[in-house]
Amino acid sequence: MSKPDLAIFDLDNTILNGDSDYSMINYLVDINLLNEAAKLKNDEFIKDYQQGQLDFNQYTNFALKPYAGKTQNEINEIILPFVKTIIEPMINIFALKLIHDHYDKGHTILLASATNELIVKPIAQRLDIRNVIGTRVKFEDKKCSGEFIPPSALGAGKLKLVENWMQAHQYDSFSGVTFYSDSINDLPLMEAVEFPKAVNPDIKLESISNKRGWEVIYLPII
């Protein structure tokens, strides 16, 4: 019996109208867990990301620092209200339709985001997506270390983590696999799948998609 076709979705600026990691830092400032200087640093990092020049190690250490020393339950007490109040309004209903169209065809859905799994997993639960990849976070003695477990789920790292997931779930090739993303940072995975689809792409990904004949989807943002 053949495996169901696989549809992979990026999260930030693909399913969401915005970036969850960026929004999380600003939220932490708003609830006084980070100071105002963190917003300025956050703006610098997001510009680097948009240009495909992000130092992911440096950024992830910055993004995970607020959780260092906290248990998973303590982290959830911070993140679950964030998902409800900030992420919920960012969900693009037209992206949800793309997801449900795949479900209606019996396809398997995989959410693959560079954002750390502390944030991605609760969002995936809200989206009713069981299969999820995010940048993995290291815990020691049941407390967050503030460090991530390589590889990150960005660029070639996302491709590697997806390959690992596929192998574990008996997908032996990218034949029939669809991937939706907005970002040039996801180029390695876009190049690997049979059906790359650029969703509201950044300028670099839009240019490459047009040159290579990849489908470009412009979802309304409301």
How many angstroms separate the CA atoms of 152 and 164, rounded? 13
Cβ contact 111:95 at 8 Å = no
Q: How far apart are the first and last CA of the chain?
A: 41
Inside any domain, residue 202: yes
pLDDT at 122 over 90: yes
Inside any domain, residue 1: no
Predicted local distance difference test score (pLDDT) of residue 51: 79
Q: Is 60 exposed, middle or buried (0-12, 13-18, 19+ CB in 10 A)?
A: buried
CATH code of the domain covering residue 162: 3.40.50.1000
pLDDT tens digits along 5-62: 999 999 999 999 999 999 999 999 999 999 999 999 999 998 888 777 888 888 888 9
Which residue range forms the structural domain that includes residue 169?
A: 6-217
Q: Which residues participate in catalysis according to the annotation?
A: 10, 12
Cis peptide before 4 (omega within 30 of 0): no
Inside any domain, residue 53: yes
Angle, vertex CA 220, rays to CA 216 and CA 222, nearest 5: 155
Predicted local distance difference test score (pLDDT) of residue 159: 98
Question: What pTM was computed for the model?
Answer: 0.95
Mean pLDDT, residues 144-173 taken together: 96
Q: How confident is the model at residue 78 (pLDDT cuts 50, 70, 90)?
A: very high
Angle, vertex CA 158, rays to CA 52 and CA 34, nearest 5: 65
Number of structural domains found in the chain: 1
- Mean model confidence pLDDT for the chain: 95
